[in-house]
Amino acid sequence: MSSHDLYIFSHPLSTSHLPTMFTLAKRSQLSGKVYDVRWPLLDGTKTCKAPEIFVKTHFTSAFYRFKRLKTNVDNTVKNRQGSLFVFIDMLNQLISILLSPCSFAISEKVPKSTESQPIALIDPYGFGCTVAHARAIDAKIAYVAPMIESSSIQALSASPLTSYASSMIQGGIEPNLRNRLGNAIGHIVFRLFFVQLPLAKWYYPQSRGLKHFSLPTESMVFVNGHKFVDQVLPRTNLIVDIGGFHVEHEERSTEDAKNQIASFMAQYDDIVFISLGTFTADGQFPKLWKKMFIKAILKYPKVGFIWKFKPDSVEKPPRNLLLLDGFIPQNSLLESPKMTGFITNLGQNSFLEALRNGVPVIGIPILGDQSVTSEKVTRLGIGIVFSLPEATDEILTNAIRKCLDKKSKIVKRSQLIRDMLIHERETGIATDGSHALSRLAKLKQTDFDKFYLPKSSIPFYAYWMLDWALLTFVLATIFALF
């Protein structure tokens, strides 16, 4: 059996995407080296540790430039000193940061494989130019999509009816309007990532004419989902579900943090964990909503609350509230038998971790695919969902009460689905697609081009969302006039 090296090109912003890709790489049946190639933009993605056996290659120039840009934006907003020229300068900085991984010179620093043709795992929501780097080392490309955005997954896997959820003119299967609009917006945003490839030819003249910078072609897509909970999606066998395996998280907590969590949890029989994603963990959270959470927490003095939130951002926190920033072993916390509720923004990994551990959720979607995930929570009956603008301390208090009630429907349904997933793993029918990488190693790009639906069969207006753009323009014009 030939050996194949594996390259991981991951998301620059989300730490939740990294463990999914690491677990898939560790469980693959390929016998070569694994390279962790990263362009981090946030502290979490910069410090997130890969397994020790992985070969680390991190490019941090974009991280420090992004940090300076974020500071400039925060100061501008705080001091209200913005102007058109300041905005243009910041936009130029952002474009420079997004295109920094497109530098062809960087490809020379990516380690070259000495084995058979390598395989590259690419997060399609990361930097688009990672496709060019994978091509530069002659790697076969597979996509790993921790986020669930059906139009993107269909486009990358050459699934039939690719445009059904993203075009209002041509449609086959008709999901509700909210999903159609969400998919359309998600599809446009997804395309913007890969627009980096042709833009790089303008930004870096030395890349002109290089085939590495053409748009991506169809390939295998590993989706962090599960057929039982996902929405109906036209598929080919290039879509491989991996949501059934237990995502392995590298232990990164300090001894002090672990002792602090253990000591706090020992004081309570019931624990509720609060984590609303990367962009709220730094304490940048409206005061009104912060007060709402504190009021709800105060109504349950016998319940312990662990909140992933900057400690000094809350004045005089209640005794039953533990505030922690930095890395928190979320999956380990959710595995605890004391965990009775999870307040989350419904990122896909958090959603699946709650399912695997039978923890009912209080879902507060904020952006992206989280609204679609909120519909899954409601349909499965495993939690309560509401948006932050409509939330009150009374709504939050009642939701927590239902999580604490062992006889409530959401508790029973959560435990039932947990038992189902355990049964699938124990009987070997779990949707663990890590073995598919070995199959990918045997395929050729010509196989994809020959047997699977080419993008040319999708109408131009549907592929680029021109119908949605026209509708948006017309509605905006009508609104402005009347």
Q: pLDDT of 218-268, one tens digit each?
A: 788 888 878 777 766 667 778 888 876 666 655 555 677 788 889 999 999
pLDDT band at residue 211 under the 50/70/90 scheme: confident
Higher pLDDT, 449 or 283: 449
pLDDT tens digits, 65-113: 888 887 777 776 556 555 666 777 777 787 778 777 777 666 567 777 7
Per-range mean pLDDT, top range of 153-157, 413-417, 459-463: 413-417
CA distances from 96 to 89, 91, 100, 354 (A): 11, 9, 6, 38
Is there a shared CATH topology between the 4-245+433-475 domain and the 255-427 domain?
yes
pLDDT value at residue 172:
35
- Kindly indicate the confidence band of residue 151, based on its pLDDT and cuts at 50, 70 and 90: low
Q: pTM value? A: 0.76
User: Which pLDDT score, from 0 to 100, does residue 298 have?
Assistant: 94
Place of tokens 């999606």: 233
- The DSSP string of 58-90 is E--HHHHHHHHHHHHHHHHHHHT---HHHHHHH
DSSP state letters, 233-280: ----TTEEE-TTS---------HHHHHHHHHHHTT-SEEEEEE--TTT
Exposure string for 204-227, b = 16+ CB within 10 A, e = fewer: beebeebebbeebebbbbbbbbbe
Helix (H, G, I), strand (E, B) or coil at 378: helix
**Whole-angstrom distance, CA of residue 220 vs CA of residue 116:** 19
Q: Is the pLDDT of residue 187 over 60?
A: no
Q: Please report the pLDDT score of residue 336 as a whole number.
A: 92
Pair of tokens at residue 183: 């998919």
Q: Which residues of 291-324 are buried (b: 16+ CB within 10 A; e: fewer)?
A: ebbbebbeebeebbbbbbbbeebbeebeebbbbb
Which tops the pLDDT comparison, 358 or 277? 358
Q: At residue 416, does pLDDT exceed 80?
A: yes
Confidence of residue 372 (pLDDT cuts 50, 70, 90): confident
For the chain, the structural domain boundaries read 4-245+433-475, 255-427
Distance of CA 240 to the CA centre of its chain: 17
Model pLDDT, residue 82: 55
Residues with Cβ within 8 Å of residue 164, at least 6 apart in sequence = 170, 171, 172, 173, 174, 234
Average pLDDT, the chain: 78
What is the C-alpha to C-alpha distance for residues 390 and 363, in angstroms, rounded to an integer?
Answer: 13
In CATH, the architecture of 255-427 is 3-Layer(aba) Sandwich (3.40)
Q: Is the pLDDT of residue 14 over 50?
A: yes
pLDDT score recorded for residue 217: 77
CATH class of this structure's domain 4-245+433-475: alpha beta
Is the pLDDT at 293 greater than 80, yes or no? Answer: yes
pLDDT for residue 280:
64
pLDDT band at 167 (very low <50, low <70, confident <90, very high): very low
pLDDT tens-digit map of 318-357: 899 999 877 777 888 899 999 999 999 888 888 888 998 9
> HSE of 238 in the Cβ direction (CA atoms, 13 Å)?
26
Q: How far is Cα of residue 237 from the mean position of the Cα atoms in its chain?
A: 22
